[in-house]
Amino acid sequence: MLGEHNPGASVDPTMAQVRAQEMILKTASPVTMTASVGTVATSGIAGISRVDSQTYSRPGYNPVYATWEVTAASDAATVNWSSSGGDALKNPVLRVRGYSSATPPTSVTFNGATLVAGTDVLMSVDTANSVLWLTLLRTASGASNTLAIGAVAAPPPCRMDIDGDGHVYPTTDGLILVRVMLGLTGTAVSNAAVVGSPRSTWADIRTYLNDSCAMGLP
């Protein structure tokens, strides 16, 4: 599977894996991973189908799976890879332990930029073992390579208190809903909200009705 696909074009997956292992496990200036959200794993199984464990020689790096490992905090984790010199870590694989959700996260960023699932990052969930598998389709080089997996809060439930002031009135919330259903937008809708209410702008009202009430407003 990792044979030389095209050695003439320097496409050699086997040697790429070897070089990655060397960068991670070398004694002087290795590639390292730290976590600001979650906890870097320091031990794991000693081999496939084994029940005994081993302490990782490089914290966070599992030599059995050739993966980086972190334990999530409430299904969220933020890790940073740091490499020195000319070392570069290509497409690192991260295993997020303690991941309780049955679906991959919807919020993943790398150095602050949002990643697109299937294009920038590959993800799958092992629900039986509460593990998220994530392949970052990026090359990590230098000291700052921060991957953030965020636990996204569920939108508030759909209630008729559209402006969010804690009350349901026909002259405010009812009027907002009628105007929206008539196709009105902008201030023609938002001026019916209670002044100073949490959702008193058209943008906030539209977001609430789309996210919580699935109205699909443009």
For 195, the domain range is 154-218
* Domain assignment of residue 29, yes or no: yes
Residue 194 structure tokens: 């209670």
pLDDT, tens digit only, all 218 positions of the chain: 455 556 565 666 677 777 777 777 776 668 889 999 999 999 999 998 888 999 998 899 998 998 999 999 999 999 999 987 667 788 899 999 999 999 999 899 999 899 999 999 999 999 999 999 999 999 888 888 999 998 655 667 899 999 999 999 999 999 999 999 999 999 999 999 999 999 999 999 999 999 889 898 98
146 and 165 co-located in one domain: no
Q: Which helix (H) or strand (E) holds 19?
A: helix 13-25
When divided into structural domains, the chain yields a total of: 2
Cβ within 8 Å of residue 164, ≥6 positions away: 197, 198, 199, 208
- 2 within domain boundaries: no
136 in a domain, yes or no? Answer: yes
pTM of the entire predicted model: 0.64
Whether 213 and 192 map to the same domain: the answer is: yes
Query: Could you give the 3-state DSSP secondary structure of residue 14?
Result: helix
